[in-house]
Structure 1
Amino acid sequence: MVWRIALVLSFVVSVLGCSPQTKSTNSQAVAQPVRVVMPVVSQTQQLTLSGIVRARTEVELAFEVPGRITQREVQAGALVSEGQALYRLDLRDLQQRLTAQQANLAAAEAALATAEQELQRVQQLRADSLVSESLLDQAQLQQQQAARQVDANRAQLQLAEKALADGVLRAPAAGTVLELRAEQNQVVASGQPVLLFAYAEQTEIEVLLPPLTLQQQGQAVFQQGQVMLADGSRVGARLRELDGAVSASARTLRARYALDQNLSMPLRSVVKIEFADAAEALWQLPLSAIDGRCSEQQAQACEQMQVWQVVDNRAEPLAISVEQITGEYALVRGALSAEMQIIAAGTHLLTRSQAVRVLPQ
């Protein structure tokens, strides 16, 4: 009887020694063998837009006086120097106005001289008490009025001289004639644009940015770029000016880019300008490394795909977004680095902090 009880007790002890808890502990102690790959950075994403070569300052030139154009001195596209004549008006009316003002000034100066002589005579008579005080005041008033008339006529003469000089439209600085908007024998009004002029200074690139693209990429992407030239070379460009409102005609934002060096290209010519994507780099990984499910700990909030990296011999999930699939590889965006060990296959069987053993390559 005793031996039967001992046999039963030994059986119970053996059963308890093989309980599920003990099996689970033993299974967790076994590391899962995995193969890993290193992320490979893909080429930087580029956004290419068209731009127009422009001078930093372009102005419309106009006569400050009305008249009929008698001569056009330049052709469109001409390089001109400061002060060079561009257009000439019929100067006969302006010359006659100047002659009349010169005559008016001469008459006013003669009247002033007469008034001063009269004032001196009355002052002498008043000193001898031969005339009244009121007569002296009247002589002084006439002299002051004659002096003011001289000043007024002198100012009118200066305006007439300026008008005669303005009858010739001259280049305000060295630059280029972009467009001609008036021809010989055409009558123009004061302030009517007759020529579009570009100052000879550093050239710029004008780019029309779609607001949606600017919003999606972020303004930081468009702070600097590279202008591609016909010979394959590139010139750096930095954002100098960005309109604060969308244009009513094109529904775009006008941006001006200053160049690191002047372009030897005609103004208004079209060039390509590249902008580098300022977001995280794209990384190339095998499709088998992409885990489309979320880990148990992230199941409530996970909205992205993930990969698994080996950290201290344990598997840890890392959220990524797949941007493009090419063959057996995927271009992903995320907080990756070239030194990371990414589990290459079997990711759907992994759990957070699971012990893993990296197999030799």
Structure 2
Amino acid sequence: MSRISRHPLWLLPLAAILLGCSEKEAPEPVRPALYVVAHPLLIDNLGRFAGTIEARYESTLGFRVPGRIVRRNYDVGAVVKEGDILANLDPTDQQNQLRAAQGDLAKVQAQLINAQANARRQQELFDRGVGAQAQLDTAQADLKTTAASVQQAQAAVNQAKDELSYCNLRADHDSVITQWQAEAGQVVSVGESVVTLARPEIKEAVIDLPGPLAEALPKGIEFRVAGQLDPDVNTLAHVREIAPQADSATRTRRTRLTLDQTPPAFRLGSSVSVTVSSPIAQHYSLPLTAVQETDGHARVWIIDKTTYTVTPQNVNILRRGPKTVLLEGGLKDGDYVVSYGVHSLKPGQTVKLDKESAQ
């Protein structure tokens, strides 16, 4: 005959209570956490723009007389000295004008000799009392008129000589030829652009900035100009001039930068890259997934490096990007910030850090 063991009924509720307590006190699993280390940004990069090295001072020259260009003496890129002849016009017309002016001058000079002789004769006759006052006055008036005609003819000769010399287009300063606007054989008018000269002693960087940025450059703006082929060749620059009006097609404004230094590699026409940045207060750039937004408030989760527990920290969003967000307030340099899964965290929750997961 088998024996049936019996347990007191009062033990059943006690067993249920103990079983419930054991379920509540089960430790919560420690979840791994991806994190980033917060480091402050002291420079706000506003963009990088392509530019060129140009001379600060340029001049466009043209002939002072009309004519047909018969010769160009230099090519683009040539270094010329002050007074060098850059191009020549056909001087035939100017030479003919000079010969005509010289003929007129010789004619009035002969008339002046006759007028001078007549005036002397009339003066001698008048002094002996046999000449009339009216004839003397007429002779002296003719002498003055002829002398004035000689001066006029001499001025015409000088002008014809000048116009003949204007057939030679000369450099007005030591410079580099950057552009020709006319070709040999072309007929040009007075003042028409023929050649552009640049003074190489003072160079500057030229870029096109977006209109909104050019109109509101922050205080302490910094421009770093670097060679596109060799970024290690670089120098700082500052704004010298911003075009008062935006380009109608691109809506950008031409900006000229004075270089603090001019490396030899910065030759006229060379391409450069200009990085625009501005010093700012301590801001932090974090992944967009590190920020939790609730009811218009933004916060991040900071990991305690000692207890490995997480704590929410309110922050202010300054600017959003496609993958990052710029924050201020609530963070310190070196803080561990959870970068993924922030919506499932609870204050005081313990997490496991994997160094390989640091972003």
Bin the TM-score by the shorter chain. 0.5 to 0.7
Aligned equivalents of 1:326, 1:100: Cα separation in 2: 79
Instruction: Identify if the C-alpha distance between structure 1 residues 334 and 63 changes in structure 2 by more than 3 Å, giving closer, same or farther.
Output: farther
Aligned 8 A contact 1:304 1:321 in 2: no
Aligned 8 A contact 1:51 1:207 in 2: yes
Aligned 8 A contact 1:221 1:276 in 2: no
- Determine the structure 2 residue equivalent to 1:235: 235
Aligned equivalents of 2:57, 2:97: Cα separation in 1: 35
Aligned equivalents of 2:251, 2:77: Cα separation in 1: 30
- Determine the structure 2 residue equivalent to 1:90: 90
Instruction: Identify if the C-alpha distance between structure 1 residues 141 and 203 changes in structure 2 by more than 3 Å, giving closer, same or farther.
Output: same
Does the alignment pair 1:42 with 2:41?
yes
Q: In structure 2, the residue corresponding to 1:207 is in which secondary structure? A: strand
Instruction: Give runs of aligned pairs for residues 144-159 of structure 1, distance below 5 A.
Output: 144-159=144-159
Aligned equivalents of 1:261, 1:150: Cα separation in 2: 59
Aligned equivalents of 1:75, 1:319: Cα separation in 2: 62
- Unmatched 5+ stretches in structure 1: 1-37, 295-302, 308-316, 350-361
Aligned equivalents of 1:293, 1:220: Cα separation in 2: 32
Instruction: Give runs of aligned pairs for residues 68-217 of structure 1, distance below 5 A.
Output: 68-215=68-215
Aligned equivalents of 1:322, 1:271: Cα separation in 2: 31
Aligned equivalents of 2:286, 2:184: Cα separation in 1: 70
Instruction: Give runs of aligned pairs for residues 242-321 of structure 1, distance below 5 A.
Output: 242-262=242-262, 263-283=264-284, 320-321=316-317
Q: In structure 2, the residue corresponding to 1:280 is in which secondary structure? A: strand
Amino acid at match of 1:245: Q
Aligned 8 A contact 2:298 2:316 in 1: yes
Q: In structure 2, the residue corresponding to 1:160 is in which secondary structure? A: helix
Amino acid at match of 1:159: Q
Q: In structure 2, the residue corresponding to 1:182 is in which secondary structure? A: coil
Aligned equivalents of 2:314, 2:111: Cα separation in 1: 98
Aligned 8 A contact 1:205 1:256 in 2: yes
Larger helix proportion of the pair: 1
Deviations along 1:194-252, one digit per CA (max 9) or x if unpaired, are 2222223211111112212334xx22468641101233121121211122222334432
- Unmatched 5+ stretches in structure 2: 1-36, 301-312, 348-359
Aligned equivalents of 1:147, 1:171: Cα separation in 2: 38
Q: In structure 2, the residue corresponding to 1:256 is in which secondary structure? A: strand
Q: In structure 2, the residue corresponding to 1:152 is in which secondary structure? A: helix
Instruction: Identify if the C-alpha distance between structure 1 residues 334 and 113 changes in structure 2 by more than 3 Å, giving closer, same or farther.
Output: farther
Aligned 8 A contact 1:280 1:334 in 2: no
Instruction: Identify if the C-alpha distance between structure 1 residues 287 and 241 changes in structure 2 by more than 3 Å, giving closer, same or farther.
Output: closer
Shift of 1:272: 0.8
- Determine the structure 1 residue equivalent to 2:13: none
Q: In structure 2, the residue corresponding to 1:276 is in which secondary structure? A: strand
Instruction: Give runs of aligned pairs for residues 53-72 of structure 1, distance below 5 A.
Output: 53-72=53-72
Question: Normalising by the residue count of structure 2, what TM-score does the alignment of the two structures yield?
Answer: 0.67
Aligned partner (choices 325, 328, 332) of residue 327 of structure 2: 332
Aligned equivalents of 2:145, 2:55: Cα separation in 1: 53
Q: In structure 2, the residue corresponding to 1:148 is in which secondary structure? A: helix
Q: In structure 1, the residue corresponding to 2:281 is in which secondary structure? A: coil
Amino acid at match of 1:274: T
Aligned equivalents of 1:304, 1:150: Cα separation in 2: 95
Larger strand proportion of the pair: 2
Shift of 1:146: 1.5
Amino acid at match of 2:43: T
Shift of 1:291: 9.1
Identity %: 28
Report the aligned-residue RMSD: 4.1
Aligned equivalents of 1:318, 1:144: Cα separation in 2: 100
Shift of 1:156: 1.3
- Determine the structure 2 residue equivalent to 1:323: 319
Shift of 1:89: 1.8
Instruction: Identify if the C-alpha distance between structure 1 residues 80 and 123 changes in structure 2 by more than 3 Å, giving closer, same or farther.
Output: same
- The number of equivalent residue pairs is 294
Instruction: Identify if the C-alpha distance between structure 1 residues 81 and 125 changes in structure 2 by more than 3 Å, giving closer, same or farther.
Output: same
Aligned equivalents of 1:280, 1:138: Cα separation in 2: 94
Deviations along 1:235-278, one digit per CA (max 9) or x if unpaired, are 12121112222233443211111212335344333211111124
Question: Normalising by the residue count of structure 1, what TM-score does the alignment of the two structures yield?
Answer: 0.67
Aligned equivalents of 2:184, 2:289: Cα separation in 1: 76
Amino acid at match of 2:283: L
Q: Which moved more, 1:185-194 or 1:330-339?
A: 330-339
Aligned 8 A contact 2:52 2:206 in 1: yes
Instruction: Identify if the C-alpha distance between structure 1 residues 155 and 287 changes in structure 2 by more than 3 Å, giving closer, same or farther.
Output: closer
